[in-house]
Structure 1
Amino acid sequence: MWLILLVVAVTVLVADLITKIVAVALIEPGDPVEIIGDTVTFKLVRNSGAAFSMATGYTWILTLIALAVVAGIIRYSHRLGSIWWALGLGLVLGGALGNLIDRIFRAPGPLRGHVVDFMSVGWWPVFNVADSAVVCGAIGLVVLTLFGFEFDGTRSGGAKDADDPALTDSDTATGSTQSDRQAPDA
């Protein structure tokens, strides 16, 4: 599963870096490019805050948080047993790395760099590919957690996957398990 996580993370990272390079090269600050009227525009913004321009002025703290997220995902990736968790964590990892690279290498300096944001949709704050990946990945992970899908590929709350060989067709229909069918102790 770590390979899926890696492929997703690298894909997001490359897409984020390329789109930021193109945005900086082609979009003039303060001169938005209209895509669909003034509803969808490309507008170059240097963001010192978190996703969607939140927490501006706390760049160094956000950098440390991003480093911790990246380290945590890498540290525990070998335990992955779920393709869905690999996809979600890959999105978060790729997005975190994309914005982390900006914070480390862009002006005004290391750990204080501003993230390049350039996509604007209606009233929503300006964002980039990395922001979108982090948000989509995080939403996916919350959904997985709410539905009982564990990091290691198992289901919580006693629920079992439909392809579990210990279940029969009647078990899946009734929700019973093999332990439910065993005779009680006398």
Structure 2
Amino acid sequence: MNLNNIAIFCGSSNGTNERYLKAANDMGKYLAATNRKLIYGGAKVGCMGELANASLSHHGYVIGVIPQKLVDVEIAHEDITELHTVADMHERKAKMAELADGFIALPGGAGTLEEWFEVFTWLQLGYHKKPCGFLNVNGFYDPLISMLKNTVKEGFMKESYLELIISDQDPKTLIEKMEAFEMSSTSKW
């Protein structure tokens, strides 16, 4: 699978561990070095800003998609390659999904999780066949992966869906795993 355009969901905060900003920086650099377009939430703050700035500083192509409400509070990153202003979060997610060949969640909060889970649910339902991964820095996603294993154990999710989740702590290895991803024609319905 060719992953030329990667959507990344991550925090608009820095987090409490310096590893999170470093991971965002490393991912941005790696995307630029491999000539991949970064598609992200369009903010200039937190891990989102670090990700975009790292890609830009290494001559990367950065596409931001941001709701008007966040433009109004002045957190839009005005210096990126393309900035798409949309009406709301629903439109943001749809635009990012349209532009992306795959999806990665870096550490982040409720918004990061919500955005990633939506595209992961779409994958399960067969709306797309694009890989969904976690950059599992510092074991950040280990508790969530354990929770998802529990949903399988308790009969709320098929084990085959759990196997769709790609996870690694290294940007290069994660993207290589995602490029090897092949979705079977089986969807939930």
Question: Aligning the two structures, in what range does the TM-score lie when normalised by the shorter sequence?
Answer: under 0.3
In the superposition, the TM-score normalised over structure 2's length comes to 0.25
- Give the structure with higher Rg (CA): 1
The structure that is strand-richer by fraction is: 2
In the superposition, the TM-score normalised over structure 1's length comes to 0.26
Which is bigger in relative contact order (C-alpha 8 A, separation at least 6)?
Answer: 1
